[in-house]
Structure 1
Amino acid sequence: MENLIYQKIKEYDIKMNSFTISFTGRPLLIDDLISLYRFRNAIAKKEDIKKLTQQIHDDFCKIKEQSHENIKFVTTRYDGISRIFFFSEDYSKIFSDFIFP
């Protein structure tokens, strides 16, 4: 599974050469994530955090529109940067990604 994840990330962003990943392999319900990020957005105090949580929320809504009920997260670390990828349940598709400061 780990090899597939590395391959998909490298296909998604060919500039990422050396990075580490972490993942649980546990599917997460899109409906729960939409609710969570709606709440996170409502309580965010900084404008940049509010913008990021809104973008993530909107991505989850788009994923749900594509008839997906679950997704999986993969976190990468490279050059001091953390980046999270939202994958399909079987890791065959990356829906989107976000860089966290």
Structure 2
Amino acid sequence: MEELIYQKIQEYDSKMENFKISFTDHTLSIDDLISLYRFRNEIARTEDVKKLTQKIHDDFCLIKQQCHENIKFVIARYDGIARMFFFSEDYSKIFSDHQF
């Protein structure tokens, strides 16, 4: 599974070469994530956090429109940067990513 994730991330962003991943292989409900990020957006204290939570919320809504019920998160770390990737349940597709 790990090899597939590395391969998909490199296909998604060929500039990422030396990175480490972490993942739990646990599925997360899109509906729960949409509710969670709607709430996180409401309580955000800064405009930057509000923009980020809104973008993530919107990504989840788009994923739901594509008839996906669940997703998986993968965190990739490189050069002091962490990127969170939203994958399909079988890791065959990356829907989007966000950099922290």
- Common fold: TM-score over 0.5: yes
Q: CA deviation at 1:58?
A: 0.1
Q: Name the residue aligned to 2:71.
A: 71
Letter in 2 for 1:60: F
Residues 54-94 of structure 1: CA distance to partner in whole angstroms, max 9, x if unpaired? 00000000000000000000001000001000000000000
Residues 1:36 and 2:70 are matched in the alignment: no
TM-score (norm 1): 0.99
| Counterparts of 1:77 and 1:67, CA distance in 2 | 29
Matched residue, 1:58: 58
Structure 1 runs of 4+ aligned residues shifted over 4 Å read none
**How far apart in 2 are the matches of 1:59 and 1:25?**
20
Q: Percent sequence identity over matched residues? A: 76
Structure 1, unaligned runs of 5 or more = none
Q: Distance in 1 between matches of 2:46 and 2:83?
A: 20
